[in-house]
Amino acid sequence: MFKPITIKDIAQALNLSASTVSRALSDSYEINPETKKRVLAYAEQNNYKRNPIALSLKQRKSYSIGVVVCEVANSFFSQAIDGIESIAYKNGYNIIITQTHDSYDREVMNIKHLANRSVDGILISLSAETTNFDHIKKLHDAGLPIVFFDRIYDGLATHKVSSDNRNGAKMATQHLIEKGYRKIAHLANAPHLSITKERLAGYREALTENGIPIEEANITYCHHGGSNQKEVDAAVQYFLSMDEKPDSIFVASDRLSIGCLTAIKKYGDKAYMPAIAGFSNSDVLDLFSTDFSSIRQPAFEMGRVATDRLIQLIESKYPVYEHESIVLGTELIERIPGKLL
């Protein structure tokens, strides 16, 4: 069942040796054009396909790259994957996608699994829970090419691709300020994530520049990135329980935005309805006239750039010592309530 034709079969059929066939197939210069033509013709006819597994074994290369994200059912990441795929395929690689669901344990498992599966390199966006990086360091030290995107770890000498989180956060906060809000809460992601720190910095910057005092009590972290709705609910309930409730919330991520809106819908009332602005790549938001302006990251492009760099690393003949930190711009999408829909 399903036994494809091999180089040996061709050799036998054409009365040649396997090595000659191999050479003909890889278009070696030192081969009789006549023979080459015969081999190619026969291969074509019997639609011979190189066995990539044998090739991998021989060349110690799998032509596949691993991708580690928290979840694919997330606008930002699914768009990023589109970008990753586009570059990977163009270069003859396929991608193996794994999801951490923002759990450290699953991240460790997945990365081990990928390394074990002998991928040629890995693209990582860290899980919200990750604070120990040994599982990644070990592989990196062993020579496995790794590129971070979105959720970066700075302690590793490799390429990093992110978006301008600080400025995005600043724009969002500034946007709320311009709309007249003053008591702006911040629903933040897990505290150790790179994006959390950067977005927090942007939030602070906007407030400071506008002479609004920063109150730590207005900032709440979601240690699991909102992968459990309960923690988002708790955060929102906390905001709602404050003596002086926030008039608006700057939300740090796609996942949290959805979670935050859900929680507000659940616990809020007509009398109190904070404005919301935050990071999100969801297209669906465009359809509604909520008071939810968002910061959009160039997800597709980030995926492309990260993959491009990873393949560079993989295919480089010599060890690469210079590493880029690439930061792409973010975009504010203002949404005005009260229009159609």
Q: Binding of a second copy at residue 113 (CB under 8 A)?
A: yes
Question: DSSP for 104-130?
Answer: HHHHHHHHHHHHHTT-SEEEE---TT-
Q: Strand pairing partners for 66?
A: 96, 122
CA-based angle 182:185:191, to the nearest 5? 145
Q: How far is the CB of 8 from DNA (least distance, A)?
A: 6
Distant-in-sequence, close-in-space partners of 285: CB < 8 Å, separation ≥ 6: 292, 294, 335
Among 32, 46, 132, 316, binds DNA (CB under 7 A): 32
Contact present, 172 and 278 (Cβ < 8 Å): yes
Find the part of the chain contacting a second copy (CB under 8 A) among 38-46, 97-105, 177-185, 244-252.
Answer: 97-105
Among 13, 22, 115, 312, binds DNA (CB under 7 A): 22
Q: Binding of a second copy at residue 94 (CB under 8 A)?
A: yes
Among 13, 31, 201, 327, binds DNA (CB under 7 A): 31
Q: Binding of a second copy at residue 258 (CB under 8 A)?
A: yes
Helix (H, G, I), strand (E, B) or coil at 176: helix
- Pick the closer one to a second copy by CB: 35 or 312: 312
Among 15, 26, 27, 284, binds a second copy (CB under 8 A): 284
Q: Binding of DNA at residue 35 (CB under 7 A)?
A: yes
Q: Binding of a second copy at residue 317 (CB under 8 A)?
A: no
Q: How far is the CB of 261 from a second copy (least distance, A)?
A: 5
Please, which of residues 1-30 interact with a second copy by CB under 8 A? 1-2, 4
Q: Binding of DNA at residue 40 (CB under 7 A)?
A: no
Q: Binding of DNA at residue 12 (CB under 7 A)?
A: no
174-180: long-range contacts, CB 8 A cutoff, minimum separation 24: 174/206, 174/209, 174/210, 175/277, 175/293, 175/332, 175/334, 176/248, 176/250, 176/275, 176/277, 177/206, 177/207, 177/210, 177/212, 179/248, 179/275
Find the part of the chain contacting a second copy (CB under 8 A) among 165-173, 195-203, 212-220, 264-272.
Answer: 264-272
The helix/strand count (H/E) of the chain reads as 12, 12
How far apart, in whole angstroms, are the C-alpha atoms of residue 315 and residue 301?
21
Among 13, 40, 50, 332, binds DNA (CB under 7 A): 50
Contact present, 165 and 195 (Cβ < 8 Å): yes
Contact present, 254 and 264 (Cβ < 8 Å): no
CA-based angle 121:166:137, to the nearest 5? 30
Site size for DNA (CB under 7 A): 31
Q: Binding of DNA at residue 51 (CB under 7 A)?
A: yes
Q: Which candidate, 299, 305, 340, places its Cα nearest to that of 326?
A: 305
Among 37, 46, 55, 288, binds DNA (CB under 7 A): 55
Distant-in-sequence, close-in-space partners of 246: CB < 8 Å, separation ≥ 6: 183, 184, 185, 218, 239, 274
Find the part of the chain contacting DNA (CB under 7 A) among 57-65, 109-117, 168-176, 247-255.
Answer: 57-65
Q: Binding of a second copy at residue 312 (CB under 8 A)?
A: no
Place of tokens 């302690």: 155
Q: Binding of DNA at residue 17 (CB under 7 A)?
A: yes
Residue numbers of the site for a second copy (CB under 8 A)?
1-2, 4, 49-54, 56-57, 62, 64, 71-75, 78-79, 81-82, 85, 94-99, 113, 115-118, 142-144, 258, 261-262, 264-265, 268-270, 273, 282-288, 290, 319, 340-341
Residue numbers of the site for DNA (CB under 7 A)?
3, 6-8, 15-20, 22-23, 25-26, 28-36, 50-51, 54-55, 57-60
